[in-house]
Amino acid sequence: MPVALEPFVPSSGDPWDSQKAAHLLRRAGFGPLPREIAAATAVGPDRAVDALFVFPPALPIPPVALGDAQAAEMRLDAELELLRSTRQRAQDHPELRGFYEQVNQAHGRAIVETTSWWLDRMASGPAPLQEKLVLFWHGHFTSSFGDVQDAIAMYNQNQLFRQYAAGNFARLFDAVARDPAMLRYLNNDQNQRGRPNENWAREAMELFTMGIGHYTEDDVREAARAWTGWTVVDYRSFQDRRTFAFKPAEHDGGQKTFLGQTGPWDGTDVMRIILATPAAPQWVAAKLAKFFVAPQPPAELVDGLAGLLRQSNYEVAPVLRALFRSRAFYRPDVMHAQVKSPTEYVVGAVRHLGIQDADWIRLGEAMTLMGQRLFFPPTVAGWDGGAAWMNSGTVFTRSDVAAALLVGRLGVPNLAALGSPEAISAQLLARPLAPARQAVLAQTSVPSMTGVIHLVMTLPEYHVA
């Protein structure tokens, strides 16, 4: 194990305590509850980390609204098929507009329901780390429903991230390169021999694997040629449009020089060449560290994670295990160095307040105002994270959402466990508060318990993770 990733060994001077356990569960999940923190404290760091990696063997069943979207698609497909069989053109049949409209509306409802379905899994699913990794990959290999306009394709991509959550990055990269939502989002479905579209090729290098400075504009053009013909089956039916196809006739099989290597490369070769560069594990490790450790993670820690990623042939689980067990992960300057994302804030708040039947639809809308609308990343670079989450506007939106949750406007809260100001700050923050702030809370004249909880959920200490 590299020095930077030496394991944390509990000692009498530096024990495995509830603060460290809470830190682990916060970073690897969403808003840990007191009993979960107590359990992780009791079993020690090794078993607490092991427990995080127990993912359910099967993928969850999809939200119902996807079926409605598919039904609307089938009605439209049947109409179009009928026209084709009688050699009529769709544009001569304005009455079809209603069918198209139904498909659009059904997909609009389906993406909202899929968002709720995902948020609910984060809050109460069996594997918080798996969902945390799905969120990580969604911000890394970004696609937006705004461009893809297909909730089923977005759901499939979300399940892909779940399937590979802590799996092999090289295999995930390959799967994403064939993922219909991504093909459409970055236009590789339009990338054809003699008519290259370099959008995917560029972002695959700049944002997904290497970062600027490790390739040239010529490399972008050559990689785009290599990925020609990686597209979807057809646009005639919705199902075909959600199915990957490699089309040899649209593929440019000529010689390409990519990152200094010349050959008749296709997309697979380009990915192999990229992943063999030192830049790739470094980039992926830095992204993981930025998400799980700190906005500016220590360089030696990133180097250590990159080395592990290379050694493990891009297996993510051993890298994350080493990170979560490392002494560096529990350094005081790492423990509260993150700002909760809107997802972490909202899901954590719902858990902390024991909200039953949370109104995920409205909570999802509120997250838009906080700067994170799931399935709609703002750009292909995803969300900046860290301090960028917080400004004068988002601070107040978070506080407003906390108030709405507390008074039961977004589900039924259960505040029984939160009896006194001390219990509130201990359970919600899972850390000691500066004595001056603790004193203000203890002596507060705020007339209601919900007021005190609301204050705590507005504190800077509640926004950090």
- 249 near other proteins, rule: CB under 8 A: no
Of residues 274-333, which lie at the interface with other proteins (CB under 8 A)? Answer: 332-333
Of residues 193-222, which lie at the interface with other proteins (CB under 8 A)? Answer: 194-199, 202, 206-207, 212, 217
Of 62 and 196, which CB lies nearer to other proteins in the complex structure? Answer: 196
Residue of 149, 237, 399, 427 that binds other proteins (CB under 8 A): 399
Structure tokens at 374: 């799931």
Total binding residues toward other proteins, as defined by CB under 8 A: 67
- 394 near other proteins, rule: CB under 8 A: yes
Using H for helix, E for strand and C for coil, what is the string for 22-36?
HHHHHHHCCCCCHHH
Q: Where are the beta strands (DSSP E) in 219-338?
A: 230-232, 244-246, 256-258, 261-263
10 Å CB burial of residue 162 (0-12, 13-18, 19+) is buried
Scanning the structure block, which residue is given the tokens 């350094």?
331
| Selected range binding other proteins among 40-48, 56-64, 94-102, 392-400, rule: CB under 8 A | 392-400
Map residues 94-133 to x or -, x wherever contact with other proteins holds by CB under 8 A: ----------------------------------------
- 415 near other proteins, rule: CB under 8 A: no
Residue of 38, 387, 412, 442 that binds other proteins (CB under 8 A): 387
Map residues 443-462 to x or -, x wherever contact with other proteins holds by CB under 8 A: -xxxxx-xx--xx--xxxx-
10 Å CB burial of residue 157 (0-12, 13-18, 19+) is buried
- 6 near other proteins, rule: CB under 8 A: no
Assess contact for 387 and 339: CB atoms under 8 A. yes
| Residues sharing a CB contact under 8 Å with residue 160, sequence separation 6 or more, in sequence order | 172, 175, 176, 179
Return the H-helix or E-strand segment holding 79.
helix 65-85
Return the H-helix or E-strand segment holding 322.
helix 316-325
Assess contact for 191 and 197: CB atoms under 8 A. yes
- 337 near other proteins, rule: CB under 8 A: yes
Residue of 261, 400, 415, 427 that binds other proteins (CB under 8 A): 400
- 91 near other proteins, rule: CB under 8 A: no
The separation between the first and the last C-alpha atoms of the chain, rounded to the nearest angstrom, is 27
Dihedral angle sign, alpha carbons of residues 18, 22, 28, 29 = positive
Of 144 and 163, which CB lies nearer to other proteins in the complex structure? Answer: 144
- To the nearest whole angstrom, how small is the minimum distance from the Cβ of residue 263 to other proteins? 24
- To the nearest whole angstrom, how small is the minimum distance from the Cβ of residue 274 to other proteins? 17
Of residues 348-377, which lie at the interface with other proteins (CB under 8 A)? Answer: 368-371
DSSP-derived letter for residue 412 is B
Beta-carbon count within 10 A of 436 CB: 7
- To the nearest whole angstrom, how small is the minimum distance from the Cβ of residue 307 to other proteins? 27
Q: Would you tell me which residues interact with other proteins (CB under 8 A)?
A: 146, 186-187, 190, 192, 194-199, 202, 206-207, 212, 217, 332-333, 335-339, 368-371, 378-381, 384, 387-388, 390-397, 399-400, 403, 406-407, 434, 436-437, 440-441, 444-448, 450-451, 454-455, 458-461, 463-464
